[in-house]
Amino acid sequence: MLKPIIKYIMNKHINFEDIIYILNVRIRMIKDLFHLDVDPILFYGQTMADLDFINSTMDILTDKFLKNQNFVDRDTDAECILDAEWQFSQLLNEISNNKGQNSFTQFPETHTLIARLKRESVERKKHIEDFCTPAESSVLEPVVSLTELNGLLGSA
């Protein structure tokens, strides 16, 4: 079901910052569930579907990012994606560590889903970090040498 959607999205311009903003709002909404006194059974199905949605959307964004070399704000987009991945991994850790009465960990399938989502998140982060590692040739030399700087500051 995702393949036709991915093909459609790959041919379309997408705004990484706006999509990631929406994903972060959804992540915060799920985090808020852990601070409220609600019956987890009421929200379990939708929350697991939301986690899957966030994960699949992050897959699509990462794939689009890695396949297109021509983004103008490539570094900014990489930072946004990596930040969203960090937020997502924090949420997954919070779900895993939440052992209270209102916890989703009481459902056996939660452990399997969270483990898979964590694994996929780590893989995406690694792909982006590997792809965006600056080459040594791109490291800029200082514009002003230490001698020139001392001369400008009157320390020489």
Task: State how far the Cα of 23 lies from the Cα of 17, in Å rounded to an integer.
Answer: 10
What is the predicted pLDDT for the residue at 105? 77
Confidence check: pLDDT of 2 > 60: no
- Where do the domains of the chain lie? 2-153
What SS3 class is residue 135? coil
Give percent above pLDDT 90 in the chain.
41
**Once rounded to an integer, what is the mean pLDDT over residues 126-135?**
77
In this prediction, residue 135 has a pLDDT band, given cuts at 50, 70 and 90, of very low
Which comes out higher in pLDDT, residue 45 or 149?
45
In this prediction, residue 28 has a pLDDT band, given cuts at 50, 70 and 90, of very high
- Provide the whole-model pTM: 0.74
Which comes out higher in pLDDT, residue 148 or 98?
98
Give percent above pLDDT 70 in the chain.
74
CA angle 125, 15, 28 (to 5 degrees): 60
What is the predicted pLDDT for the residue at 97? 86
Confidence check: pLDDT of 71 > 70: no
What is the predicted pLDDT for the residue at 137? 36
Would you give the DSSP letter of residue 13? -
Q: What's the fold here for domain 2-153?
A: Glutathione S-transferase Yfyf (Class Pi); Chain A, domain 2 (1.20.1050)
Under a CB-based contact definition with an 8 Å cutoff, are residues 125 and 118 in contact?
no
In this prediction, residue 9 has a pLDDT band, given cuts at 50, 70 and 90, of low
